Amino acid sequence: MTKAQLIPRQIVIINSPMEETNAMLTFGKPFYPLAFWTLQSNPEQAHQQLIKILNRIDRSRHSWAADWLLSQLENSFCQSDPRLVQNLWGLTFNNPLGLAAGFDKDGLAAGTWASFGFGLAELGAVTHHPQPGNPRPRLFRLPQDRAGLNRMGANNQGAKVMAKTLQETWARHPRTIPIGINLCKSKITPLDAAALDYVESFRYLKDWADYFVVNVSSPNTPGLRDLQATEQLEPIIAALQAENGGTKPILVKISPDLNWSDLADLVQLAKTYQLAGIIATNTTISREGLKTQILKATGKDIREEAGGISGMPLQKRSTEIIRFIWQQTGGQLPIIGVGGIFTPLDAWEKIAAGASLLQVYTGWIYEGPWMVPNILQGLVAKLEEHGLSSLSEAVGCENKQGVGTRE
């Protein structure tokens, strides 16, 4: 096959990145994004090319062609239903489904994510110092497990460059959905200087996003997860809150590999320092239950491969943690649920367990961009099924009402 054929709701195999680019720019039928070529070839190369294309479209959005492309995206993927609106931290989310951190590390496509139907998008992870990340290959698909393996190492151009990028983006057009930024410690910064590293990133970026996330849970920055210990995390949160002065919501993103006692301590810290919420969860270092035994790209046993697993293997654990946090806080601390969301039922399960908002990454790769309207329509159907008039009524409903999640 020498040309990609655009077929709604069907993934087709394309032979080269150039064919994929041509397919996207042709746009003869509903959008087929570059990201879904990644199962066939180099995931990172395809991902980078998609971001470049979206950045080019956004920078030329006032041209006829780019305006038409964005309108086609919106017609295909955007859904509007007042029952899905969530109001948190003085922000209005038109729907609860967001793009997770890791997809748009430098904010190059920040102005386009609303056109895919997302109700929020989280950029980064970004560090104070620019860094190249870990050696390649470092991004893999595990199709047998409907999962991803990444050991990217927070490759990004640094907070100062992201600030300039976002300043230019929002000068072209105002943001139409809440935008978050995921802050990570620079690899070269020692752990005992982590607080200042986070604060310096925040200073650059605080005017260009709506909420911020303290990432202390990526498995791909040496020592980073040690900062989840309350004695390590407390000075970081205290320094950020002092710099913030209550102007921006600050959340913390946690690991699925924490034990219940450590998780309870972290929840208490979040309450003590009046954090806006918790994102549950980041990727897992567990290899338990994987169908993939040998990573085809390297020929090595999956248990010998460093990095975090995302997608379906994370689904159950992330939901259990959401439920635990909701129960520990009586539903008073907002939770963004992420991990293994592929279908409306997956999304509903996390909301019923206690998540007010959701984020996707791996599921979006596997299911395609139609996943967004499919999930949103499915959530409306679930609200109707349970006699609920708004999504906020559904948050934590299994804890309050005994509503089943896999009905």
Which residue in 186, 201, 218, 310 is the catalytic one?
218
Residue 91's DSSP bridge partners are: 88
Ligand-binding site membership of 281 (annotated):
yes
C-beta of residue 403 within 8 angstroms of C-beta of residue 397: yes
**What is the C-alpha end-to-end distance of the chain, expressed in Å?**
43
Ligand-binding site membership of 189 (annotated):
no
Ligand-binding site membership of 276 (annotated):
no
3-state secondary structure of 139: strand
3-state secondary structure of 191: helix
CA dist., res. 13 & res. 19, Å (int): 10
Ligand-binding site membership of 103 (annotated):
yes
Per 3-state DSSP, the chain is made up of helix, strand and coil in percentages (nearest 5) of: 45, 15, 40
Tell me whether the omega of the peptide bond preceding residue 132 falls within 30 degrees of 0, making it cis: no
| Two structure tokens written together for 158 | 């640094």
Ligand-binding site membership of 87 (annotated):
no
C-beta of residue 49 within 8 angstroms of C-beta of residue 379: no
Count of C-beta atoms within a 10 Å radius of residue 232: 17
Ligand-binding site membership of 362 (annotated):
yes
Greatest Cα pair distance, the chain, in angstroms, is 59
Q: Which helix (H) or strand (E) holds 47?
A: helix 43-59
Ligand-binding site membership of 292 (annotated):
no
3-state secondary structure of 282: coil
C-beta of residue 319 within 8 angstroms of C-beta of residue 350: yes
Ligand-binding site membership of 220 (annotated):
yes
Residue 218 known to be catalytic: yes
Ligand-binding site membership of 127 (annotated):
no
Ligand-binding site membership of 104 (annotated):
yes
| Two structure tokens written together for 372 | 């967004």
CA dist., res. 134 & res. 71, Å (int): 37
Q: How far is CA 85 from the centre of its chain?
A: 19
CA dist., res. 208 & res. 173, Å (int): 13
Ligand-binding site membership of 215 (annotated):
yes
DSSP for 216-231? ---TTSTTGGGGGSHH
The annotated binding site is made up of: 101-105, 125, 182, 215, 220, 253, 281-283, 311, 340, 361-362
The annotated binding site for FMN is made up of: 101-105, 125, 182, 215, 253, 281, 311, 340, 361-362
| Catalytic residue numbers, as ranges | 218
The annotated binding site for substrate is made up of: 105, 215, 220, 282-283
